[in-house]
A = this chain, B = another copy of it.
């Protein structure tokens, strides 16, 4: 995601020196990105044309679970059964000494595969719970049980992580050697995702306050 074509991947010297950008097929790396991102960007082909839409996504072991309403719409109209899921966490703005070498630090993930529809009611219920627990750990146990009708009305797709790869950029800018003499500030501005104070639903009964799990979630920095 470099604004300038820094050619970091093609320049052996730079790679050896700093390794700012690297690709990975390591499942631990891939899993960590899937667990950190909240939104998946799901691409399918419709009438030969690519279509990308955002979806909520949660990792379940060796699979991604995609929530069904948007997925069903996208996949139903898609010509082929192969989809691409991309998830990206933006970690920082990389300010170099030249416009050309400005960049971003990020962790991204691409998975290609053929999603399967999850049809077993118990698996669908578990997926729904995983979606809720991904948003707010401990939330599911505070809710009324999910009904059979709701489970029937839920569509979930599962996509294997077998064909997944990650790409990560970390660290400081990589400037041209002669530019290091130029005294403009250079470095990284971290990008964080934080939660704000919970906003009560207008129909909340008075005295109903966020439980401890919500308060703990909101206090965390860079989630």
Q: Does A52 contact B (CB under 8 A)?
A: yes
- Taken residue by residue from 68 to 93, chain A's Cβ proximity to chain B (1 for < 8 Å, 0 otherwise) reads as 11100000000010111110101011
Q: Are A179 and B48 in contact (CB under 8 A)?
A: no
A99 to chain B, nearest CB (A): 5
CB of B132 within 8 A of CB of A1, answer no
Q: Please determine whether A128 and B143 come into contact, CB atoms closer than 8 angstroms.
A: no
> Which B residues touch A191, using CB under 8 A?
38, 193-196
Are B199 and A187 closer than 8 Å at their CB atoms? Answer: yes
Q: Shortest beta-carbon distance, A183 to chain B, in Å?
A: 5
Residue contact A98 to B143, C-beta cutoff 8 Å:
yes
> Are B69 and A2 in contact (CB-based, < 8 A)?
yes
Shortest CB distance A64–B (Å): 13
A121 neighbours in B (Cβ, 8 Å): none
Which chain A residues in 159-206 approach chain B with CB under 8 Å? 172-173, 179-180, 182-205
Contact of A132 among B92, B99, B180 (CB under 8 A): B99
Shortest Cβ distance from A203 into chain B, in angstroms?
A: 5
- B-chain residues with CB within 8 Å of residue A39 when the two chains form the complex: 1, 88, 90, 104, 106
Main secondary structure on A side of the interface with B: mixed
A88 touches B54 (CB 8 A): yes
> In the bound complex, what is the Cα–Cα distance between A180 and B144 (angstroms)?
12
Q: A2-B67, A4-B128, A43-B52 are in contact. List 10 more A-B contacts (CB 8 A).
A: A1-B55, A39-B88, A45-B45, A53-B108, A93-B195, A98-B150, A100-B147, A183-B205, A185-B211, A189-B198
Q: Are A82 and B3 in contact (CB under 8 A)?
A: no
Q: Are B1 and A146 in contact (CB under 8 A)?
A: no
Min CB gap A146→B, angstroms: 5
Name the B residues within 8 Å of A45 (CB-CB).
Answer: 45, 48-50
CB distance from A149 to the nearest CB of B (A): 9
Whether the Cβ atoms of B201 and A67 lie closer than 8 Å is no
Q: Which B residues touch A86, using CB under 8 A?
A: 41, 52-54
